[in-house]
Amino acid sequence: MNRASIIDTSHWSGPVDWNKAFSSGAAGMYTKASQLANDDTFAPNWKNAKGLLPRGAFHYLDWEKSELVQAKLFTDTMGGDWGELPPSLDLEMDPTPFKLTPALVQGKVWNWLQAVEKTTGKVPMIYCGAS
């Protein structure tokens, strides 16, 4: 079986049958751990996918709160189980309405990445949208 797809889940996805995902050929999973609070589906997704698929968690960076507070929320939500895939920062929120310059955005992203790497020992990756 060709395992090529990585599943991306959050509370928007609803419950996931991880046995079915594995048997359908999923190669891994990323699940939302946090934004301004922890994602309600993180704990069951994280637990139920363990041992079936390589797991990664992501944080949706929200410009309304300190990036360092958000990095701590993310790592606290993971509870010391860093998964098998690198942590990921989801950069889809448009910084323009918050009047953030590219330099400020870069600094906030860098701060988050460094804080998460320091805590987890893993180099995070970035997922981003067009904005």
Q: Which residues are catalytic?
A: 8, 92
CA distances from 74 to 30, 35, 39, 88 (A): 14, 8, 10, 10
Structure tokens at 88: 């990921």
Give CA–CA dist 126/5, Å, rounded. Answer: 18
One-letter amino acid of 78: M
Give CA–CA dist 71/77, Å, rounded. Answer: 10
